[in-house]
């Protein structure tokens, strides 16, 4: 489904990003897999995926907390791809759970820096290239936490609500350039991120979902693949829930 497409995926080392990277490789994409810092196991893992699916996987390291680092890394990706990134998956993110009264302004800024500001910076830089090429697809990772307003999610949920809103507005700004922008909003998915959640909060989400279970990274990756591919060519500006029937 993605043969010949150049794709950049953030947060590719673990969870949903890792599953997306494998599915994209399986579907013939050339990938720039991004992680926060050098990791030997990640290097090995990407090498294996690239051999298994006979496609190129380039690795890029940058910390989303450091704007200059992000800029330099994205510039390098743009140059390595001969100025053609067709698909951008803004997947990296951090969790944060606390009532507002327990949320320091430093924490709030940091969650937004990673989950929103840096992703907007990457989107700005990559979409300029897409605009020149008159083609592109962007898929952002929002969350049901950014749509439903549960207690304890002021920082994380607001950052994901910002992602959802930006998805809608940017999709309208870029449509004339044949660039589609959509978001996925997962419910509870079994990844490193949810290991830090309290058991009671996870149970609540599982019981609230009509399918009565957590989702897998692969299930989310399948939706991301669909949105990144031409199979979804008439879908734009949408925030699509994948939550086992929570909403
Ligand atoms: N799991 C869920 O239930 C759920 C639900 C809704 C939405 N989401 C969203 O889905 C996305 C993927 O999360 P996941 O569940 O797959 O969790 P995960 O396994 O913890 O993955 C998060 C990824 O984000 C990257 N990351 C975090 N901080 C970073 C930083 N400062 N700089 C660069 N990269 C950074 C990490 O990269 P490194 O490993 O290289 O540090 C990691 O690979 C996130 O945006 C998350 O908010 C998840």
Decide: 2 in ligand 1 pocket, CB within 6 A.
no
Closest to 34 measured CA to CA, from 114, 127, 145: 114
Q: Please identify every residue annotated as catalytic.
A: 156
Q: Please report the pLDDT score of residue 235 as a whole number.
A: 98
Instruction: Beginning with the edge strand found earlier in the chain, give each strand of the sheet holding 179-186 in spatial order.
Output: 57-61, 30-35, 6-9, 87-90, 136-141, 179-186, 239-242
SS3 154: helix
Q: Give the closest residue (by CA) to ligand 1 atom 43.
A: 11
Length, in residues, of the chain: 247
Q: Which sequence spans correspond to the domains of the chain?
A: 6-242
Q: Compute, in angstroms, the gap from residue 176 CA to the centroid of ligand 1.
A: 31
CATH of domain 6-242: 3.40.50.720
Residue 31 neighbours by CB distance under 10 Å: 28
For residues 83-101, average pLDDT: 97
The 10s digit of each residue's pLDDT in 221-236 is 999 999 999 999 999 9
The 10s digit of each residue's pLDDT in 149-163 is 889 999 999 999 999
**117 Cα distance to chain centroid:** 13
The 10s digit of each residue's pLDDT in 19-73 is 999 999 999 999 999 999 999 999 999 999 999 999 999 999 999 999 999 999 9
Compute the half-sphere exposure of residue 128: CA atoms within 13 Å on the CB side of its CA.
Answer: 8
Decide: 188 in ligand 1 pocket, CB within 6 A.
yes
For residues 210-216, average pLDDT: 97
Closest to 119 measured CA to CA, from 34, 39, 201: 34
How would residue 210 be classed by pLDDT, with cut points 50, 70 and 90? Answer: very high
Q: Compute, in angstroms, the gap from residue 11 CA to the centroid of ligand 1.
A: 6
Q: Please report the pLDDT score of residue 197 as a whole number.
A: 86
Q: Where are the beta strands (DSSP E) in the chain?
A: 6-9, 30-35, 57-61, 87-90, 136-141, 179-186, 239-242
For residues 97-121, average pLDDT: 97
């Amino acid at each position: 489904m993605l043969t010949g497409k150049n794709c950049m995926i953030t947060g590719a080392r673990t969870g949903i990003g890792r599953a997306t990277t494998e599915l994209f490789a399986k579907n013939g994409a050339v990938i720039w897999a991004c992680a926060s810092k050098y990791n030997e196991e990640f290097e090995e893992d990407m090498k294996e995926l690239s051999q298994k699916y006979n496609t190129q996987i380039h690795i890029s390291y940058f910390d989303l907390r450091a704007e200059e680092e992000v800029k330099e890394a994205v510039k390098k990706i743009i140059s390595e791809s001969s100025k053609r990134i067709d698909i951008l998956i803004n997947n990296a993110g951090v969790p944060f759970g606390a009532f507002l009264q327990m949320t320091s302004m430093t924490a709030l800024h940091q969650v937004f820096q990673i989950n929103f500001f840096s992703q907007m910076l990457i989107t700005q830089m990559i979409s300029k290239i897409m605009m020149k090429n008159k083609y592109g697809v962007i898929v952002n990772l929002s969350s049901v936490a950014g749509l439903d307003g549960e207690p304890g999610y002021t920082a994380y949920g607001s950052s994901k609500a910002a992602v959802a809103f930006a998805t809608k507005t940017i999709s309208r700004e870029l449509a004339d350039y044949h660039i589609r922008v959509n978001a996925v909003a997962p419910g509870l998915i079994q990844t490193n991120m949810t290991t830090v959640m309290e058991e009671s909060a996870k149970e609540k989400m599982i019981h609230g979902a009509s399918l009565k279970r957590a989702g897998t990274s692969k299930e989310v990756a399948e939706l991301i693949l669909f949105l990144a591919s031409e199979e979804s060519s008439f879908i734009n500006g949408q925030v699509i829930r994948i939550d086992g029937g929570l909403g």
